[in-house]
């Protein structure tokens, strides 16, 4: 029944939108397709709130859960309900970090800022040569869908020159503006931070103060689809072994990708593993942690701004590289930390990690991927869009 009502609303929206005037005083924000209040749109919005712009403009957040706490003066609107389509017709500024649905109609006087959500390691969109996603293998249709959405973007944000070059290719974005300003979500990582702020953050998150924090943040796997737009939590990590070897010195945060839906019984590791779902902004988990374990996720480009240890648990490297996505650069050559293929090796790499060993690679990595990160991206977005 819900899908039927949604289809009717979409039809009405598509028929009526041409007759409804656009207002530049209405701004839509959306993160992770409405799943949370996080990422680049969040930090752009919060900069607007600090500047008092939430009182000048009508700020609207599209959310699946409208009970989500959002500061400032804003209207929270549930995805796919009547008000959602009304504001979609009326808003003069769209600020999203993911691909919009195909039924969206961007009118000529709407400004669409696509912030995106990471520097790509794995191949994206038009650069993908094969597809095993959501049970579909039709790569040509996938390309067509991307072309349909990217043509509506007026601005796209980039963290570095490498990402700009990839975006022009994978999004067919040759003749439009790329804002090479760094990511608004990373502004907080470049501000002054100290032990006292870390202590308060750990207390707020319910993390122990007497042990170091490992953040485990892997990406999702295209072929691990579970239905309803979600993917399973795929990993070969042996958490029992990790707990036994590290529990005296560390605890671990497991942070799922926003596309992942996990039904895992963590109770055997309740004194070692802490989990946060897609509603928790990962930027705060970066700040609370002492080291990162990831695989092929773009979190590596953000976390490296903190100059803290990064380790890479790449148990399925060959399959991921050769069969699922493929990479834009040589993973083994460029990542600034040890690459482990199994849990036993990962434990050894954690215990034996030496920052001096990785100083050179870390410096090269930062020079390539931190070019535009200055801690002022949110402010620059507001200026570019003429909202100040």
Has residue 258 got a pLDDT over 70?
Answer: no
- Note whether 170 and 238 are same-domain residues: no
What pLDDT digit, counting tens, does each position of 163-186 carry? 999 999 999 998 778 999 999 999
Question: Domain of 66: which CATH number?
Answer: 3.40.50.11820
Do 277 and 311 reside in the same domain of the chain? yes
Helix/strand/coil for 58:
strand
Same domain, 44 and 87: yes
Tell me what the mean pLDDT of segment 132-158 comes to: 88
pLDDT range class, residue 260, cuts 50, 70, 90: low
pLDDT reading at 278 higher than 90? no
| 36 and 118 both lie in a single domain | yes
pLDDT at 233: 66
Statement to judge: residues 271 and 324 lie in one domain: yes
Percent of the chain residues topping a pLDDT of 70: 93
220-242 pLDDT, tens per residue? 665 555 555 555 666 788 999 99
Identify whether residues 115 and 215 lie together within a single domain. no
Same structural domain, 23 and 157: yes
Cα separation, 313 vs 294, in Å, equals 6
Question: Which range marks the domain in which residue 261 is found?
Answer: 192-369
Structure tokens at 165: 């070059």
Say whether both 359 and 248 belong to one domain: yes
Does 279 lie in the same domain as 155? Answer: no
CB contact burial 223-237 (16+ within 10 A = b; e otherwise): bebeeeebbbbbbeb
pLDDT number for residue 129: 85
Instruction: Convert the pLDDT of each residue in 46-59 to its tens digit.
Output: 999 999 999 999 99
Helix (H, G, I), strand (E, B) or coil at 63: strand
E strand or H helix that includes residue 342: none
The model's pLDDT over 85-113, given as tens digits with 9 standing for 90+, comes to: 999 999 999 999 999 999 999 999 999 99
Question: Are 134 and 252 in a shared domain?
Answer: no
Long-range contact pairs involving 343-351 (C-beta distance under 8 Å, separation at least 24) = 343/236, 343/237, 343/238, 343/241, 343/242, 344/241, 346/237, 346/242, 346/293, 346/311, 346/313, 347/241, 347/242, 347/245, 347/246, 349/311, 350/214, 350/246, 350/250, 350/291, 350/311, 351/245
Helix (H) or strand (E) holding 209: none
The CATH number linked to 309 is: 3.40.50.12580
Distance of CA 205 to the CA centre of its chain: 20
Domain count, the chain: 2
Q: What is the mean pLDDT of residues 182-198?
A: 94
Which letter does DSSP use for residue 324 in this model?
Answer: I
Tokens of 270: 């309740």
């Amino acid at each position: 029944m819900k899908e039927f009502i949604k289809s009717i609303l979409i039809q009405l929206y598509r028929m009526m939108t041409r007759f409804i005037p656009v207002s530049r005083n209405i701004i839509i924000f959306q993160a992770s397709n409405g799943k949370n209040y996080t990422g680049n749109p969040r930090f752009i919005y919060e900069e607007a709130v600090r500047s008092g712009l939430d009182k000048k403009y009508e700020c609207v957040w599209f959310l699946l859960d409208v009970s989500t706490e959002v500061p400032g003066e804003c209207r929270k609107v549930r995805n796919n309900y009547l008000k959602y389509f009304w504001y979609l017709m009326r808003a003069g500024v769209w600020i999203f970090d993911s691909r919009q649905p195909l039924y969206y109609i961007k009118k000529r006087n709407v400004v669409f800022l696509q912030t995106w959500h990471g520097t790509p390691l794995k191949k994206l969109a038009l650069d993908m040569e094969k597809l095993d996603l959501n049970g579909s293998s039709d790569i040509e249709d996938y390309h067509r869908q991307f072309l349909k959405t990217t043509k509506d973007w007026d601005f796209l944000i980039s963290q570095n020159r490498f990402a700009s070059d990839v975006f022009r290719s994978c999004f067919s974005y040759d003749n439009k503006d790329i804002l090479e300003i760094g990511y608004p979500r990373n502004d907080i990582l470049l501000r002054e931070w100290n032990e006292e702020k870390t202590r308060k953050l750990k207390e707020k998150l319910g993390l122990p103060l007497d042990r170091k924090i490992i953040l485990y943040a892997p990406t999702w796997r295209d072929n691990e689809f579970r239905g309803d737009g979600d993917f399973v939590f795929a990993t070969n990590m042996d958490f029992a072994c990790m707990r036994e070897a590290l529990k005296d010195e560390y605890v671990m945060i497991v942070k799922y990708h926003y596309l992942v839906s996990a039904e895992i019984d963590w109770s055997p590791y309740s004194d070692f593993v802490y989990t946060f779902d897609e509603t928790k902004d990962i930027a705060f988990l970066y700040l609370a942690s002492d080291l990162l374990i990831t695989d092929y996720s773009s979190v590596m480009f953000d976390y490296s701004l903190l100059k803290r240890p990064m380790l890479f648990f790449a148990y399925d490297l060959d399959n991921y590289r050769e069969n699922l996505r493929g990479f834009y650069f040589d993973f083994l050559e460029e990542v600034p930390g040890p690459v482990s293929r199994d849990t036993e090796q990962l434990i050894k790499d954690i215990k034996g990690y030496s920052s001096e060993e990785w100083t050179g690679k870390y410096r090269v990595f930062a020079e390539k991927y931190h070019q535009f990160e200055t801690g002022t991206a949110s402010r620059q977005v507001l200026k570019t869009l003429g909202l100040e």
